[in-house]
């Protein structure tokens, strides 16, 4: 699990505070509801982001130093083959006509032809995407469902200060899980659970038992990270005056934590959840490679090594879509579950 | 001679439906050598007036003039004139750079005076200013964190005075302070009024404090000036019902609170 | 920087420093001392599992993997520093540019940073490594560029925070140019958090490198870093797991080291003290002494100071409140008045150490954990009002829910009955249209209304004591009057005693029967509210005189008391 710490610790963009508020204001006046304005704004941002990715994925190939076709085929390939491939890829045309072909191809779902396998890129991606999706979604659910009870329990226990050794142990364990990158965790899991105990197969995909180790490798780090966010947020909320008010009513712990504290950590936790979800999507690249899972993550590595540019372009676009979709999903959840903070941000 | 004049100033915030008028066609005159007290509740627009005067906020209509020079203009003349209006902020901790020695902070005030004194002169002037606000000059090298709230506020006053301002704008400068410290700061202001013939716009929500330091009083409510006059006249015989309510709400030492309906 | 020296001398600080020295030594001397062991091929010893002679085993050419791991430190650390350097430098440039640009351009740049931030570093790094190729230098550029948005955001956030402070405003008023302000004010104040984040980011960068090399997209043979070693080792994980775990340990330990350094450099949370005293398990019988609502004898409350020592903030306070009595505690900040009130309510958190000879509310010993029956009584008989009406009501729950829950929980009142009662309570504190208000969230109410809703909450049970801690400090005087009126009505309605905490001696004298004056954690004087003129203690007299009121003589200086008097340094 490698998430830049500052991605979470830094406050929302300073610009969002003032000028964006006035922009949201205008949108709000247009569509009437602040919640709708928030969702529209996020949709707009996702669209702009995707446009940037489209352009970037196209120019990525243009920016490769030297001749990408020569690089892909190797120095020994005959000139005729190189020229043929160059013509097939359309690289002999002007940049703008290439861009036009690229965009119109995308509109028809045509991502071009893979150089190494000579199959349609869209076909390859279509076969492999469901695997990656299942892996990411299941891992996210495991992380999210596991993180809440752990985070809440450790925060309550830490604040009371009565089980210091246990608290220290748990937070140490979480710290280690956060610090160990997922590819290393994957290797460790294979060494212990698979080779050591023979409990689960070390590679492959298809049966539930084959899914256990990849899901664990992908989910444990995010789980620990999310649990720590819940823990920190819970500690913050437990120190607020309104929790003191609730305590002054001598409410039982159940009401104190579930009714008074939990709703107030939703916004921050969801935002962190977004970071986790996006990190998970990216993490599939590493975990699929270790466990030889036939998803798009293992495809991107092999295609970069093989300099299979059409395939790289396709995978980059799909990953960007996944990331943007994950972000959008979190924003929608925020708008539904915590309209106040969504409105504040709009 | 220095006279600060607010001429039909209006300030609005927000757009469309959430448009708010913070200051609504307010006119005020701070006469040379006198202190004008501006009272009002939170949200009445009194702090916005202060920020307009020093250029931290823009007026949507009207003008602010110092001896006839429009401070809201973009000219060089206006820029120089703006430096003659200095402000003391509410929270002295936020108004002093935590990483800058207080002597350097006070010396920053000399920038506005337009002179560029040499090192020795600058240090002498800082020493002089620190003595003026009763802070030990030997502590000029200390950071703000090592001073108490009252001392910090006196330091920000020293910094403002270093600029040799024609007009001093004091925005709620005692609200963040303990009552005993408030007394010290108020005493200092009185001394400065007497010694420097300070022209001052003194803004506070506390009517008693405003009364203590002001020659004239303006009462502000919902962006409008609802009452204005010499301090004694306004407070002894208020014309506006809001001023009367304000006066009635102030707790008086040793007297039961007046909680009955009007 | 004495604070930094103090942090570095803690056990954690010493450990981090020792670790950093170790890594630096390995990076500097490793390639010099172990070059031979790391590069000499020894086909006879190829692919050995872990043993005493080769703790991590050997690789396919018989080279010792421990030696190779140590030698790889230099390249791993240098690449990390290089990439982190690119991220920080690029981020600072972009962040500063974003800060000084005109508004429209600035918005464009920040929007771009936002979009870049929404992509995880690995995808950005993969993208860049397509362009720069699968080499060590390419990976460094890729990871460095992938980190730029993070720092750009950090710098622009920090800069914006400093740029809106009053000291920057003051500098602007004084004619300080933007350049001067940036150098004198902004830079010194954003540097420390930037350093902290750089250390934390180095950890992320290190792991990123390991990941790219592990994927075969980073360092290429014959060069090797930890990720490369891990990649080669993981292929032999069935036969020699240490070949992969060994470099893995180096990666994790160094990563943890960098992030610990970051944590160390940032300020840590204050430690809690664990109030276990006076909790001897056996419930001490509390003899009823008269019928007082509150009896406090020799109350002492301590907190952990900055330097870790216990500081007593309340030092031996005695306080008795009779039924229906209105008592005010007056004092300046640091007098211990609020801490005393919170101790009486039994609501001090684990950071406070409470000791007392006697701390009793209507026969309930407040130093112990209350029994279920006692909790019920406390929930119904004791009401609290705090200073900040913005934060003392839960922003996520409706006003109605917050009013009804105590009586529903403790008295078993039905929701309908409790709601009807809540509407009555709101009308008693003169909040118009109670049914609508009950359905609203706190942010829809004005500050004065929220404070009166807090009073109404207290009316839901059978209050015997209402503790109001600076209930009107955050409010305007006309609103203060409404809140005090609600408090008076509540008392007339229920006959509850009131403990009013305030810094405003005029307010307290106008509302209370009795005044307790506190200073530095001790009670300096107790007197009847109508006998202020007979105050004997000089501090009380000073407190009365130093506040200007509507009759103060304007031609004379205000008397100066206490700390303020000591501060007066007259040359």
Question: Which has more confidence, C98 or C509?
Answer: C509
Per-residue confidence at C565, pLDDT binned at 50, 70, 90?
low
Interface of C with A in 89-128 (CB under 8 A): 103, 106-107, 110-111, 113-115, 117-123, 126-127
Could you tell me which chain C residue has the CA closest to the CA of A1?
C207
Give the DSSP H/E element, type plus range, for residue C428.
Answer: helix C415-428
Position with higher pLDDT, A226 vs C270 = A226
Number of C-alpha atoms within 13 angstroms, CB side, residue A99?
A: 12
Residue C422 main-chain phi, psi, to 5 deg? -65, -40
- Cα Rg of chain B (Å, integer): 19
Q: Which of A3, A48, A159 sits opposite C115 (nearest CB)?
A: A48
Structural domain ending residue among the three candidates C252, C268, C284: C268
With vertex at residue A23, the alpha carbon angle to CA A21 and CA A27, rounded to the nearest 5 degrees, is: 110
- Alpha-carbon distance A2 to nearest alpha carbon in chain C (angstroms): 6
For residue C569 the two structure tokens come to: 């340094």
- Inside any domain, residue C286: no
Tell me if C388 and A241 make a contact (CB, 8 A cut-off): yes
Is pLDDT above 60 for C569? no
Tokens of C360: 């009793």
A4: chain C residues, CB-CB within 8 Å: 121, 147, 150, 201, 204
How far CA B31 is from CA of B70, C309, C555, in Å, comes to: 16, 54, 20
C520 backbone φψ class: left, alpha, beta (φ>0; ψ -120 to 50): left
C330 and C402 share one domain: yes
Query: Per mean pLDDT, which range of A120-124, A203-207, B91-95, C450-454 is the poorest?
Result: A203-207
Domains by residue range for chain A, with CATH: 128-338 (1.10.3720.10)
Contacts 24+ apart (CB under 8 A), B209-213: B209/B174, B209/B182, B209/C548, B210/B37, B210/B38, B210/B39, B211/B37, B211/B235, B211/C548, B211/C550, B211/C552, B211/C554, B212/B186, B212/C548, B212/C552, B212/C554, B212/C558, B213/B35, B213/B37, B213/B186, B213/B189
Query: pLDDT exceeding 70 applies to what percent of chain A?
Result: 88
Q: What does the pLDDT read at residue B104?
A: 93
Number of helical (H) and strand (E) elements in chain C, helices listed first: 21, 11
How distant is the Cα of A334 from the closest Cα of chain B, in angstroms?
A: 24
| Domain presence at residue C544 | yes
3 state SS of C391: coil
B68 touches chain C (CB under 8 A): no
Query: Half-sphere exposure of residue A312, counting CA atoms within 13 Å on the CB side?
Result: 27
Q: What is the separation of C-alpha C151 from the centre of its chain, rounded to a whole number of angstroms?
A: 23
Contact A16, A23 (CB under 8 A): no
Contacts of C155 in chain A (CB under 8 A): none
With 0-12 / 13-18 / 19 or more C-beta atoms within 10 angstroms meaning exposed / middle / buried, residue C202 is buried
Pick the residue of C50, C98, C120, C162 with the most A CBs within 10 A to test the interface with A by mutation. C120
Cβ distance B234 to B227 under 8 Å? Answer: yes
Round the average pLDDT of chain B to a whole number and report it: 89
* Euclidean distance between CA atoms A62 and C217, whole angstroms: 20
Question: In chain B, whose CA is at the least distance from the CA of C167?
Answer: B95
Averaged pLDDT for residues B133-159: 89
pLDDT above 80: residue C177: yes
What is the architecture, at CATH level 2, of domain B4-84+166-261? 3-Layer(aba) Sandwich (3.40)
Enumerate the residues of chain A whose CB falls inside 8 A of the CB of residue B15.
Answer: 22, 25-26, 29
Element (H, E) at C469: strand C465-469
- Res. C44: pLDDT tops 80: no
For residues C14 and A140, give the distance between their C-alpha atoms in angstroms, rounded to a whole number: 38
Determine the residue of chain A that is closest to C227 in CA distance. A184
Interface contact B17-A29, CB threshold 8 A: yes
* Tokens (6 digits) for C392: 């003392």
- A16 pLDDT tier (thresholds 50, 70, 90): very low
Please state the three-class secondary structure of B172-202 as a single string.
CCCCCCCHHHHHHHHHHHHHHHHHHCCEEEE
pLDDT at A1 over 50: no
- Residue C460 Cα, gap to closest chain B Cα (Å): 23
For residue C156, the chain A residue with the least C-alpha distance is A14
Rounded to an integer, what distance in angstroms lies between the CA atom of residue C213 and that of residue C227? Answer: 5
User: Given pLDDT bands bounded at 50, 70 and 90, which one contains residue B186?
Assistant: very high
Is C506 domain-assigned?
yes
Answer with the one of C268, C303, C328 that is the final residue of a domain: C268
Q: Which of B87, B187, B208 sits opposite C550 (nearest CB)?
A: B208
Q: Residue A18: closest CA among chain B residues belongs to which residue?
A: B14
| Number of Cβ pairs < 8 A linking chain A and chain B | 11
User: Are C543 and B179 within 8 A, CB to CB?
Assistant: yes
Q: Considering only alpha carbons, which residue of chain A is nearest residue C252?
A: A180
Q: How far apart are CA B207 and CA B221, in angstroms?
A: 14
* Alpha carbons B102 and B95: distance in angstroms, whole number: 11
Tell whether the model's pLDDT for residue C445 goes beyond 70.
Answer: yes
What is the rounded distance in angstroms from the CA atom of residue B66 to the CA atom of residue B112? 16
Q: Which pLDDT belongs to residue B229? A: 94
Q: How far is A115 from chain C (nearest CA, A)?
A: 16
Backbone angles phi, psi at B54, to 5 degrees: -100, 0
Interface check C145 vs A, CB under 8 A: no
Query: Contacts from C351-354 at CB under 8 Å and sequence distance 24+?
Result: C351/C270, C351/C272, C351/C273, C351/C303, C351/C304, C352/C273, C352/C275, C352/C301, C352/C302, C352/C303, C353/C273, C353/C275, C353/C277, C353/C301, C353/C302, C353/C303, C353/C310, C354/C275, C354/C277, C354/C278, C354/C299, C354/C300, C354/C301
- pLDDT (average), residues C352-358: 90
* B45-97 per-position pLDDT tens digit: 999 999 999 988 889 999 999 998 998 888 888 888 888 999 999 899 899 99
In a domain, C275, yes or no: no
d(CA C362, CA C288) in angstroms, rounded, equals 8
Give the start-end residues of each E strand in C335-458.
Answer: 352-355, 358-361, 364-365, 382-385
End-to-end Cα spacing for chain B: 45
Contact B184 C170 (CB under 8 A): no
A334 at C interface, C-beta within 8 A? no
**Three-class SS of residue A278?**
helix
Dihedral-angle region of residue C315 (phi above 0 means left; psi in -120 to 50 means alpha; beta otherwise): beta
Residue C398: what pLDDT? 92
Indicate which of A7, A71, A184 best probes the interface with C, i.e. most C CBs within 10 Å of its own CB.
A184
Tokens of C254: 């160094």
**Chain C residue with minimum CA distance to A327:** C118
Q: Dihedrals φ, ψ of A256, to 5°?
A: -60, -50
Task: List the 209-268 stretch of C: residues with Cβ below 8 A of A.
Answer: 210-211, 214-217, 230, 233-234, 237-238, 241, 244-245, 248, 251-252, 255-256, 259, 262
C557/C547 Cα distance (integer angstroms) = 11
Residue C564, CA distances (Å) to A296, B177, C540 in order = 71, 11, 14
Lowest mean pLDDT among A291-300, B16-25, B58-67: B16-25
Q: How confident is the model at residue C45 (pLDDT cuts 50, 70, 90)?
A: confident
Please give the Cα distance from C112 to C156 (Å, whole number): 13
List the CATH number of the domain containing C508: 3.40.50.300
**What confidence tens digit (pLDDT) does each residue in A143-156 have?**
989 998 999 999 88
Structure tokens at A332: 């929608």
**CA of A143: how far to CAs of A134, A139, A221, C49, in Å?**
14, 6, 8, 35
Closest in B54, B91, B178 to C333, CB measured: B178
Per-residue pLDDT of C448-495, as tens digits, reads 899 999 999 988 889 999 999 999 888 888 889 999 999 999 999 999
**Beta carbons within 10 angstroms of residue A21's beta carbon:** 17
- What own/partner pairs with CB < 8 Å and gap ≥ 24 does C369-376 have? C369/C279, C370/A250, C370/C346, C371/C283, C375/A250, C375/A252, C375/C410, C376/A250, C376/C410, C376/C411
pLDDT grade, residue B17 (50/70/90)? low
How far off is chain C from B221, nearest CA to CA, in Å?
Answer: 12
Distances (CA, A) of C52 to A196, A274, C49, C360: 21, 46, 10, 67
CA distance C508 to chain B (A): 9
User: Domain check: are C68 and C212 in the same one?
Assistant: yes
Per-residue b or e along C394-422, where b marks 16 or more CB atoms closer than 10 Å to that residue's CB? bebbbbbbbbbbbbbbbbebeeeebbebb
Query: Among A322, A323, A286, which Cα is nearest to A301's?
Result: A286
- Option in C189, C532, C568 nearest B253 (CB): C532
Amino acid C217: pLDDT: 83
Last residue of one domain, picked from the residues C268, C302, C334: C268
Residues of C in contact with B83 (CB under 8 A): 173-175
- C224 and C86 co-located in one domain: yes
pLDDT value, residue C1: 44
Contact criterion met (CB < 8 Å) for C174 and B55? no
Mean pLDDT in chain C? 84
CA dihedral (C55, C57, C62, C64) positive or negative:
negative
Other beta carbons within 10 Å of C239: 12
* A94 shares contact with chain C (CB less than 8 Å): no
H or E element that contains B241 = helix B241-249
| Residues C262, C304 share a domain | no
- Tally C-beta pairs within 8 A across B and C: 194
Q: Which residues of B touch A (CB under 8 A)?
A: 14-18
What is the domain extent for residue C368?
A: 294-569
pLDDT at C306: 67
Can you give the residue ranges of every domain in chain B? 4-84+166-261, 100-164
Which residue has better confidence, C549 or C517?
Answer: C517
Q: What ipTM is given for this predicted complex?
A: 0.89
pLDDT for the residue A276: 84
CATH label of the domain that carries residue C125: 1.10.3720.10
**N- to C-terminal Cα distance for chain C?**
31
DSSP label of A77: S
A49 and chain C: CB distance < 8 Å anywhere?
A: yes
Number of structural domains in chain C: 2
């Amino acid at each position: 699990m490698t998430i830049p710490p500052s991605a979470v610790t830094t406050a929302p963009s300073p610009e969002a505070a003032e000028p964006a508020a006035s922009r949201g204001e205008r949108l709000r006046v247009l569509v009437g509801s602040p919640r709708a304005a928030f969702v529209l704004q996020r949709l707009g941002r996702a669209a702009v982001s995707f446009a940037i990715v489209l352009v970037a994925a196209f120019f990525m190939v243009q920016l490769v130093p030297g001749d990408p076709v020569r690089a892909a085929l190797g120095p020994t390939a005959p000139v005729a083959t190189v020229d043929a491939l160059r013509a097939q890829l359309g690289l002999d045309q002007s940049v703008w006509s290439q861009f036009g072909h690229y965009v119109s191809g995308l509109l028809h779902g045509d991502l071009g032809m893979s150089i190494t396998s000579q199959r349609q890129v869209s076909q390859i991606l279509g076969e492999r995407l469901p695997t990656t999706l299942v892996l990411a979604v299941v891992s996210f659910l495991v992380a999210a469902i596991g993180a809440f009870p752990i985070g809440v329990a450790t925060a309550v226990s830490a604040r009371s200060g009565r089980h210091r050794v246990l608290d220290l142990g748990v937070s140490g364990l979480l710290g280690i899980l956060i610090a160990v990158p997922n590819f290393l965790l994957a290797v460790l899991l294979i060494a212990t659970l698979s080779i050591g105990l023979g409990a689960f197969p070390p590679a492959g995909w298809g049966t539930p038992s084959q899914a256990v180790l990849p899901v664990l490798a992908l989910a444990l780090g995010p789980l620990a990270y999310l649990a720590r966010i819940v823990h920190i947020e819970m500690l913050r909320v437990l120190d607020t005056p309104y929790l003191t008010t609730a305590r002054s009513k001598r409410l039982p712990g159940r009401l104190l934590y579930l009714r008074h504290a939990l709703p107030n950590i939703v916004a921050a936790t969801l935002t962190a959840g977004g970071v986790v979800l996006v990190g998970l999507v990216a993490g599939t690249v590493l975990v699929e490679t270790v466990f030889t899972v036939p998803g798009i993550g293992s495809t991107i590595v092999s295609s970069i090594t093989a300099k299979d540019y059409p395939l790289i372009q396709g995978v980059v676009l799909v990953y960007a879509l996944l990331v943007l979709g994950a972000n959008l999903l979190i924003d929608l959840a925020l708008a539904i579950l915590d309209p106040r903070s969504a409105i504040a941000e709009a | 001679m220095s006279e600060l004049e607010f001429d039909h100033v209006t300030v609005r915030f927000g757009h469309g439906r959430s448009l708010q008028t913070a200051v609504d066609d307010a006119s005020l005159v701070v006469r040379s050598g006198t202190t004008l007290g501006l009272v009002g509740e939170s949200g009445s627009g009194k702090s916005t007036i202060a920020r307009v005067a020093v250029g931290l906020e823009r007026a949507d209509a009207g003008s602010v003039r110092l001896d006839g020079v429009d401070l809201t203009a973009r000219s060089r003349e206006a820029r120089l004139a703006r430096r003659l209006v200095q402000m003391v902020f509410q929270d002295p901790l936020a108004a002093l750079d935590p990483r800058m020695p207080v002597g350097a902070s006070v010396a920053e005030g000399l920038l506005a005076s337009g002179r560029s004194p040499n090192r020795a002169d600058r240090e002498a002037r800082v020493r002089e200013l620190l003595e003026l606000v009763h802070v030990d000059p030997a502590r000029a090298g200390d950071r703000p964190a090592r001073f108490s709230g009252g001392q910090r506020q006196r330091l920000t006053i020293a910094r403002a005075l270093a600029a040799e301002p024609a007009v001093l704008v004091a925005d709620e400068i005692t609200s963040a302070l303990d009552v005993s410290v408030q007394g010290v700061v108020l005493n200092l202001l009185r001394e400065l009024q007497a010694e420097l013939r300070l022209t001052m716009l003194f803004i506070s929500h506390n009517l008693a404090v405003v009364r203590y330091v002001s020659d004239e009083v303006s009462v502000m409510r919902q962006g409008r000036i609802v009452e204005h006059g010499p301090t004694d006249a306004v407070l002894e015989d208020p014309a506006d019902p809001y001023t009367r309510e304000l006066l009635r709400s102030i707790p008086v030492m040793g007297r039961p609170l007046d909680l009955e309906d009007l | 920087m004495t604070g930094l020296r103090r942090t570095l001398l803690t056990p954690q600080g010493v450990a981090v420093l020792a670790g950093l020295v170790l890594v630096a030594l390995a990076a500097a001397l490793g390639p010099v001392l172990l070059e031979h062991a790391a590069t000499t091929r020894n086909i006879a010893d190829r692919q050995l599992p872990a043993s005493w002679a080769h703790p991590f085993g050997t690789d396919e050419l018989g080279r010792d993997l421990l030696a190779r791991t140590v030698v790889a430190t230099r390249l791993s650390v240098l690449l990390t520093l290089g990439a982190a350097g690119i991220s920080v430098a690029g981020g600072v440039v972009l962040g500063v540019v974003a800060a000084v640009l005109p508004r429209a351009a600035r918005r464009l740049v920040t929007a771009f940073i936002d979009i870049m931030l929404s992509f995880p570093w690995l995808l950005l790094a993969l993208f860049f490594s397509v362009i720069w190729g699968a080499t060590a230098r390419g990976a460094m550029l890729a990871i460095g560029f992938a980190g730029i948005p993070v720092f750009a955001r950090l710098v622009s956030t920090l800069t914006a925070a400093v740029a809106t402070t009053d000291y920057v405003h003051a500098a602007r008023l004084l004619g300080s140019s933007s350049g001067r302000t940036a150098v004198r004010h902004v830079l010194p104040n954003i540097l420390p958090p930037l350093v902290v984040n750089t250390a934390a980011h180095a950890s992320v960068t290190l792991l990123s490198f390991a990941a790219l090399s592990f994927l075969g997209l980073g360092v290429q043979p014959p060069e090797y870093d930890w990720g490369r070693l891990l990649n080669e080792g993981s292929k032999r994980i069935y036969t020699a797991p240490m070949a992969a775990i060994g470099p893995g340990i180096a990666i994790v330990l160094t990563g943890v080291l960098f992030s610990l350094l970051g944590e160390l450099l940032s300020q840590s949370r204050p430690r809690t003290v664990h109030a276990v005293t006076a909790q001897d398990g056996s419930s001490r019988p509390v003899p009823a002494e008269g019928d007082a609502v509150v009896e406090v004898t020799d109350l002492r409350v301590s907190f952990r100071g900055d330097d870790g020592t216990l500081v007593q903030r309340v030092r031996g306070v005695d306080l008795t409140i009779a039924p229906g009595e209105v008592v005010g505690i007056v004092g300046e900040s640091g007098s211990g008045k609020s801490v005393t009130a919170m101790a009486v309510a039994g609501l001090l958190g684990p950071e406070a150490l409470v000791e007392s000879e006697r701390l009793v509310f209507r026969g309930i010993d407040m130093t112990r954990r209350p029994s279920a029956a006692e909790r019920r009584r406390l929930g119904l008989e004791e009401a609290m009002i705090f200073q900040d009406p913005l934060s003392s009501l839960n922003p996520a729950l409706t006003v109605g829910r917050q009013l009804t829950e105590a009586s529903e929980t403790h008295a078993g009142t039905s929701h309908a009955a409790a709601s009807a009662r809540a509407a009555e309570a709101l009308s008693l504190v003169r909040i118009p249209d109670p049914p609508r208000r009950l359905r609203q969230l706190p942010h829809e109410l004005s500050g004065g209304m929220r404070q009166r809703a807090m009073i109404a909450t207290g009316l839901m049970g059978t209050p015997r004591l209402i503790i109001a801690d600076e209930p009107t400090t955050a409010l305007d005087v006309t609103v203060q009057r409404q809140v005090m009126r609600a408090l008076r009505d509540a008392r007339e309605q229920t006959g509850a005693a009131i403990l009013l905490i305030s810094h405003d001696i005029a307010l307290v004298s106008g509302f209370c029967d009795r005044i307790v004056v506190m200073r530095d954690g001790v009670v300096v004087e107790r007197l009847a509210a109508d006998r202020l003129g007979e105050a004997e203690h000089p501090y009380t007299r000073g407190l009365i005189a130093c506040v200007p009121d509507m009759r103060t003589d304007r031609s004379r200086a205000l008397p100066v008391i206490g700390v303020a008097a000591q501060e007066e340094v007259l040359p």
